[in-house]
């Protein structure tokens, strides 16, 4: 059973070859670091003093603030659609369901692929952020990136929290992408829910809104309102959202009358 799941998951990875998934991951991961690098290069008069005390940590927070709140959720929405659409585009869902596989195997083997691309995005995004600092230093040595150490432990803690915060959204969007043949539907739902969350960010019940968990967990520890929400509550809610959305998604493909 275990070997079968691993082989099926490997087959799902092979299906992503020739799709937009790898390029989407790289482009999405490079976007913000490139933008921030251009800003730092063009406005040293403003940012040299701002980054003087701890350039790596400040650059990290600059990049991940928008990454956690916007780029990462949008990437999750898009990557789910790209991976699931492989079957719809090739009209192979009926073949998949006719194979000797359980519904859980079909559902979670693709979900593992989604998680792998998500982790790949986070790693590449962090690497590009570091490279952008060195790139900026080539133009303006006064930024002092090359003479300051990385705050690796702090960075890993924040990245882990952001990843935990986005897990519920990955399960929701994966379930929606599996449910609707037209990729525009899960895409539109996901973007709408994300925008609604950003608009409602000051709402006192935002702790129950999964599309903002990655941003809220990024800000944990800050003296702002979101920093006072509580790390434990957000993490628990995110895990509950992940388990609930994944269970409903798996149950949906089991009960669905028309498949593919």
pLDDT tens per residue across span 226-255: 445 577 888 899 999 999 999 999 998 888
Task: Find, among 136, 123, 126, the residue nearest to 55 by Cα.
Answer: 136
pLDDT mean over 1-12: 82
From CA 76, how far away is CA 196, in angstroms rounded?
Answer: 17
Dihedral angle computed from the Cα positions of residues 182, 255, 83 and 235, in that order, rounded to the nearest 10 degrees: 110
pLDDT tens by residue, 51-110: 888 899 999 999 999 999 999 999 999 999 999 988 888 888 888 888 888 888 989 999
Find the mean pLDDT for residues 21-27.
95
Question: Can you give the pTM of this predicted structure?
Answer: 0.91
* pLDDT, position 226: 46
Q: What is the pLDDT of residue 2?
A: 66
DSSP-derived secondary structure for 206-221 = GGG-GGGHHHHHHHTT
Answer for the pair 197, 74: CB distance below 8 angstroms, yes or no.
no
What is the structure's pLDDT at 71? Answer: 95
Least confident range from 77-81, 134-138, 143-147: namely 143-147
Residue 69 DSSP symbol:
I
Token duo for residue 136: 């900026």
- DSSP alpha helix (H) spans, 100-142: 103-139
Q: 30 vs 33, 34, 126, 164, 191, CA distance in Å?
A: 6, 6, 9, 22, 21
């Amino acid at each position: 059973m275990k070997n079968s799941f691993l082989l099926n998951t490997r087959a799902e990875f092979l299906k992503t070859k020739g799709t937009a998934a790898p390029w989407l991951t790289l482009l999405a991961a490079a976007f913000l670091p490139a933008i921030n690098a251009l800003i730092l290069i063009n406005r040293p008069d403003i940012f040299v003093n701002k980054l003087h005390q701890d350039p790596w940590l400040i650059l990290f927070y600059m990049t991940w603030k928008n990454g956690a709140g916007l780029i990462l959720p949008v990437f999750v929405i898009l990557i789910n659609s790209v991976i699931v659409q492989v079957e719809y585009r090739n009209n192979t869902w009926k073949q998949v369901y006719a194979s000797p596989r359980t519904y859980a195997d079909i559902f979670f083997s693709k979900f593992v692929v989604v998680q792998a691309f998500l982790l790949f995005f986070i790693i590449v995004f962090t690497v590009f952020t570091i490279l952008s600092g060195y790139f900026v230093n080539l133009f303006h040595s006064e930024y002092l990136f090359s003479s300051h150490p990385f705050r690796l432990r702090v960075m890993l803690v924040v990245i882990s929290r952001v990843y935990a915060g986005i897990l519920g959204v990955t399960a929701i969007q994966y379930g929606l992408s599996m449910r609707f043949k037209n990729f525009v539907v899960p895409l539109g739902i996901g973007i709408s829910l994300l925008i609604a969350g950003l608009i409602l960010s000051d709402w006192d019940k935002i702790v129950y809104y999964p599309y903002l968990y990655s941003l809220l967990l990024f800000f944990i520890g800050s003296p702002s309102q979101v920093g006072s929400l509580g790390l434990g509550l957000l993490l628990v809610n995110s895990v509950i959202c992940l388990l609930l959305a994944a269970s409903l998604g798996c149950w949906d493909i089991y009960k669905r009358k028309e498949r593919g």
